């Protein structure tokens, strides 16, 4: 499809999946607004995208601040003259279970749930004036399953799945489609923090959790996000697309290494 002349906002766009999505949009000819709290990284990425011939600008936005969401979304839409896409990627990775405090819950909910909702509300008027568009909320495999000590993060990602369906219903009259993507283990800065000893050591371990026996690259999540925004997905709304290498399809036997059944009879 011809993406030129269209505009997209990507929250959490300074790094990881957000940055890969912003790059994919810009390469397709879309004007992108990078919304993030990391000003140094966001400005650097926007400058790099512009130096390569793309149209990108950075906005310092904390999505838990409703006034700032409205202000920045309006500023970007006024600058571009339209708004077609929103990717709600900004997230708090705070994971607490039995020890979660009120402050932990407030922070997780304000960024992961309320932040995504506020951005959708802030972008809705401009997207409606532009004739519609698409929103992609970034959920997670963690929103589908139980994991230890992850009440805060998993509850938020599960709520994104439900909120996506409600958004899709309410925004359909404005010709705005709303879907979500559930990434599996993806090699990003957050995962790298946990990989003490490096990727060569940990990818074989974590890769056992998916059928493809490896982690995803950020751009492998970005491409399905762009698909859901594209005209090829014009009749897709209110659904979640797992991009997980087969993670959610596996049972407790994983790839067979924990099973005594050999496949013969």
**How far apart are alpha carbons 32 and 22 in whole angstroms?**
6
**How far apart are alpha carbons 216 and 225 in whole angstroms?**
14
In the sheet that holds 31-36, the strands lie side by side as 56-60, 31-36, 7-11, 85-88, 133-138, 176-183, 240-243
CA nearest neighbour of 42 among 19, 66, 71, 24: 19
Task: Find the catalytic residue in 59, 85, 124, 153.
Answer: 153
Show Cβ contacts of residue 127 under 8 Å, excluding neighbours closer than 6 positions: 83, 84, 86, 133, 135, 174, 176
**85 catalytically annotated:** no
Catalytic residues: 153
């Amino acid at each position: 499809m011809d993406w030129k002349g269209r505009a997209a906002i990507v929250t959490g766009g300074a790094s990881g999946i957000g940055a890969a999505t912003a790059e994919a949009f810009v390469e397709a000819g879309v004007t992108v607004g990078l919304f993030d709290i990391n000003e140094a990284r966001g400005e650097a990425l926007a400058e790099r995208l512009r130096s390569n011939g793309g149209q990108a600008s950075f906005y310092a936005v904390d999505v838990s601040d409703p006034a700032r969401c409205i202000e920045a979304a309006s500023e970007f839409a006024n600058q571009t003259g339209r708004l077609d896409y929103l990717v709600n990627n900004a997230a708090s990775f705070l994971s607490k279970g039995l020890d979660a405090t009120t402050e932990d819950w407030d922070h997780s909910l304000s960024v992961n749930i309320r932040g995504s909702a506020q951005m959708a509300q802030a972008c809705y008027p401009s997207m409606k004036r532009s004739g519609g568009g698409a929103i992609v909320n970034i959920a997670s495999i963690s929103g589908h399953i139980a994991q230890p000590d992850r009440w805060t993060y998993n509850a938020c990602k599960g709520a994104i799945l439900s909120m996506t369906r409600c958004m899709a219903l309410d925004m359909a009259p404005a010709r705005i489609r709303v879907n979500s993507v559930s990434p599996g283990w993806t090699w990003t800065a957050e995962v790298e923090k946990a990989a003490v000893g490096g990727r060569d050591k940990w990818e074989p371990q974590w890769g056992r959790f998916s059928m493809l026996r490896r982690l995803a690259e950020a751009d492998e999540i970005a491409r399905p996000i762009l698909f859901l925004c594209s005209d090829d997905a014009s009749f897709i709304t209110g659904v979640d697309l797992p991009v997980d290498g087969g993670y959610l399809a596996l049972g407790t036997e994983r790839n067979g290494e924990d099973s005594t059944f050999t496949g013969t009879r």
